Each structure stands twice: as structure tokens, then as C-alpha cells.
């Protein structure tokens, strides 16, 4: 049997004595579209940081296509076929849009010859053409030469996704790609990602927007306080008692907020 594309086993991580990921295990099957959801502070971003190697887990193992990558340096992981985006936009502010995308290609273009060939001096190289083509597919070809720092939030959010795609990954990790986008943009992003998934790219998406999750993902993993509380089809996630408790339970522990929320409903 084929090993799952991504497999986490018993993964734990503490920061200064506080355990924020506890014994998390789940698989992401190749070709799937998995959502990673959970309340704020549940540990979703931390899990992405462990998978991409920004941090190393204290316990457990992370395997890609059956191979343990725990000891593989963060910079080599993108070359193994996983790329990620960031919740807080982490584009290079002084680079142009196209340059940011070309940076995303780095894992495929690290040879000395590639490094020392000009990207634009004598006409456009294949790297630049490829980057512009990718931007075009996302409807972003209005801005190729623009310096990223000057662009609006929604655009930069999309460029983050395209930059991760530029690595031609097998596994694409997206941390809240739809946050801050309006409903039209969110729907377009969902369609775009579904199209990407059609080409064989496996998705693991952190997202709060349940509409987005339901339209895009077939599978969901739910975290709460660093523990996995649900691992199953997206369709039944909102009926799961543990998940309901995680979201409602938070509100119960915060009686005042719940009370004022109810008052708000009555007043409206």
C-alpha cells in the first residue's frame, strides 16, 4: 500500500514549558483536500511550522511519502515537494510581485548556472515567463513589476498562495488563504485551488471560513488546545459532539461574552 503523502505520529511541541501541540497524529492522503481547523490558538499555525521545519517537534515523527523528515533541514523540505504560505503575509516587501514568485521557484533553480543567469537583463528567461504565467492564471498579471509593499492586502494574500505554488509542490500547506478576502474573492480562490487540486496537488488548508472549507475540502482535522478532536469527512464535522463542544465550550467558559452575545441578538 502507498504510504500517505504526509503522516504525523505522536507529535508534541512545547514553548517554555507550555505544551501547545499534544500527541497529534493524522494522515494526509495524496490527492486529498484536507482542512485543518480549530479555534484561535488551537495550534494550527504551530503545526504548519513543525511540518515545514521552522520548529522541530519535541516528540513524535513527521513523514513525507513514508520518509521521516524530522531531521531534514527546513530549507531542504521544499525540495521534497512541500510548500507553504503564511498566515501573516510574509512576502518580501522590497521585491516585485514577479520576483517574489521567482523566489518561490528557488528550490528548483538552485544550481550555480541558474543562480548566475540574469533573470531579465537579456529578455525574459524561462523562470520569469513561468512566474508571469502562474500570476496570469490567478488573474494577477496586472502587477508584475509592482513592489509588493505598495499593494493592497487582498492582492498580497493571493500572491502568497502563488509563491508557494511556484515551487511545484506535491503538498501545498495554506495558512488561512481566504482571511481578509471578500466573498467574491474567496469563491474565486476556492475555484482556483480546486483547479490546482485537479492537477494532482494535495492540499492541507487552515481556514476559519466554514463555507470555504466545505466547498473546497473533503476531509477535516480539528484541533483544540493542541489536541486532535476530529478526523473525518468535512460533511459531518459540524455535527460532531466534540467539535461542537470545542467551539461552544469556549463560549461557555466565557459566560459574560456569551451573555452579551445573546443580548446582542435580542437587541437586533
Ligand X SMILES: Nc1ncnc2c1ncn2[C@@H]1O[C@H](COP(=O)(O)OP(=O)(O)OP(=O)(O)O)[C@@H](O)[C@H]1O
Q: Which is nearer to Mg ion, 36 or 237 (CB)?
A: 36
Residue 208 and residue 176 in contact, taking contact as beta carbons nearer than 8 Å? yes
Residue 66 and residue 102 in contact, taking contact as beta carbons nearer than 8 Å? no
Q: Does 85 bind Mg ion (CB under 5 A)?
A: no
Q: Which is nearer to another protein, 151 or 222 (CB)?
A: 151
> Which 42-61 positions form the footprint of Mg ion (CB under 5 A)?
44-45
Tell the smallest beta-carbon distance from residue 59 to another protein (Å).
Answer: 23
Of 37, 49, 13, 8, residue with least CA distance to 25? 8
> Which 164-223 positions form the footprint of Mg ion (CB under 5 A)?
none
Tell the smallest beta-carbon distance from residue 54 to Mg ion (Å).
Answer: 13
Q: How far is CA 192 from the centre of its chain?
A: 14
Residue 109 near which of Mg ion, ligand X, another protein, none (CB within 5-8 Å, type-dependent): another protein
Q: Does 157 bind ligand X (CB under 6 A)?
A: no
- DSSP letter (8 states) at residue 70: T
Q: Which is nearer to another protein, 163 or 228 (CB)?
A: 163
Which residues on neighbouring strands pair with residue 230, listed in sequence order?
222
Rounded to whole angstroms, what are the CA distances from 256 to 138, 146, 250?
44, 47, 12
Q: What is d(CA 92, CA 104) in angstroms, rounded to the nearest whole number?
A: 11
> Which 60-99 positions form the footprint of ligand X (CB under 6 A)?
87
Give the CB-side neighbour count of residue 85, counting CA atoms within 13 A. Answer: 28
> Which 25-54 positions form the footprint of ligand X (CB under 6 A)?
38, 40-46
Q: Which is nearer to another protein, 120 or 236 (CB)?
A: 120
Query: Footprint of Mg ion on this chain (CB under 5 A)?
Result: 44-45, 87
Amino acid at each position: 500500500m502507498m504510504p500517505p503523502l504526509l503522516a504525523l505520529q505522536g507529535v508534541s511541541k512545547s514553548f517554555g514549558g507550555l505544551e501547545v501541540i499534544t500527541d497529534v497524529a493524522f494522515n494526509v492522503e495524496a490527492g486529498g483536500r484536507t482542512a485543518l481547523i480549530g479555534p484561535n490558538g488551537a495550534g494550527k499555525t504551530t503545526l504548519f511550522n513543525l511540518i515545514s521545519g521552522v520548529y522541530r517537534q519535541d516528540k513524535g515523527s513527521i513523514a513525507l511519502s513514508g520518509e521521516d523528515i524530522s531531521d531534514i533541514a527546513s530549507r531542504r523540505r521544499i525540495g521534497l515537494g512541500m510548500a507553504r504560505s503564511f498566515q501573516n503575509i510574509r512576502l518580501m516587501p522590497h521585491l516585485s510581485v514577479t520576483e517574489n514568485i521567482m523566489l518561490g521557484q528557488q528550490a528548483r533553480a538552485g544550481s550555480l548556472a541558474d543562480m548566475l543567469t540574469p533573470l531579465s537583463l537579456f529578455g525574459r528567461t524561462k523562470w520569469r515567463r513561468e512566474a508571469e504565467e502562474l500570476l496570469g492564471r490567478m488573474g494577477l498579471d496586472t502587477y508584475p513589476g509592482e513592489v509588493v509593499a505598495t499593494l493592497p492586502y487582498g492582492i498580497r494574500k493571493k500572491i502568497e498562495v502563488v509563491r508557494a505554488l511556484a515551487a511545484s509542490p506535491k503538498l501545498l500547506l495554506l495558512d488561512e488563504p481566504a482571511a481578509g478576502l471578500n466573498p467574491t474573492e474567496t469563491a474565486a480562490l476556492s475555484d482556483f485551488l480546486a483547479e490546482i487540486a485537479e492537477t494532482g496537488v494535495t492540499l492541507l488548508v487552515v481556514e476559519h471560513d466554514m463555507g470555504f472549507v466545505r466547498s473546497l475540502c473533503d476531509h477535516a482535522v480539528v484541533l483544540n488546545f493542541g489536541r486532535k478532536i476530529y478526523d473525518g469527512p468535512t460533511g459531518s464535522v459540524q455535527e460532531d459532539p466534540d467539535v461542537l463542544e470545542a467551539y461552544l465550550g469556549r463560549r461557555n467558559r466565557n459566560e459574560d461574552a456569551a451573555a452579551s452575545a445573546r443580548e446582542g441578538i435580542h437587541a437586533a
